[in-house]
């Protein structure tokens, strides 16, 4: 008996991830886009990181328009970290119709419900169906 999560995971639309952009590539791209030398771009990124840490250590959130908000957080065991809430520009920029150039796996399932994906699983895998419990 397959789990509902397994069935949905098999058919849900997902993005095929390319290679992660590493710091040197990002710095080169920012340098070309801004006309700043790579060393200056690198220094600004490091200083931004350090200042966000310092303000968060003082219990203050940092909002960077266009990037998002970084806020201090504490877990039950006392471990400190930060929460990041992306600026709406990211979602808006990603969702411009026709702008995405990456590969979407299972693109044909965009808009389908989880129940529809489970039904497809059950049709294609009769030997391992998802069984709904009545709990």
pLDDT tens digit string along 32-78? Answer: 999 999 999 999 999 999 999 999 999 999 999 999 999 999 999 99
CATH number of 17-101: 4.10.520.10
Q: How far apart are CA 13 and CA 16, in angstroms?
A: 10
**Domain spans of the chain?**
1-16+102-135, 17-101
Exposed, middle or buried, 117 (CB in 10 Å: 0-12/13-18/19+)?
A: buried
**Under DSSP, is residue 38 helix (H, G, I), strand (E, B) or coil?**
helix
What does pTM read for this prediction? 0.77
The length of the chain is 135
| Residue 103 and residue 117 in contact, taking contact as beta carbons nearer than 8 Å | no
């Amino acid at each position: 008996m397959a789990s509902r999560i397994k069935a949905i995971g098999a058919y849900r639309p997902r993005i095929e991830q390319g290679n992660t952009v590493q710091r040197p590539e990002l710095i080169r791209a920012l340098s070309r886009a801004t006309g700043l030398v790579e060393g200056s771009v690198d220094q600004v990124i490091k200083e931004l990181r350090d200042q966000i840490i310092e303000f968060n250590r003082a219990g203050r959130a940092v909002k960077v328009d266009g990037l998002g908000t970084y806020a201090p957080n504490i877990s039950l065991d006392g471990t400190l970290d930060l929460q990041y809430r992306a600026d709406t520009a990211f979602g808006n920029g990603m969702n411009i119709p026709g702008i995405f150039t990456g590969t979407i796996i299972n693109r044909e399932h965009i808009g389908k419900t989880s129940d529809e994906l489970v039904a497809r699983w059950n049709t294609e895998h009769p030997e391992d169906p998802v069984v709904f419990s009545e709990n």
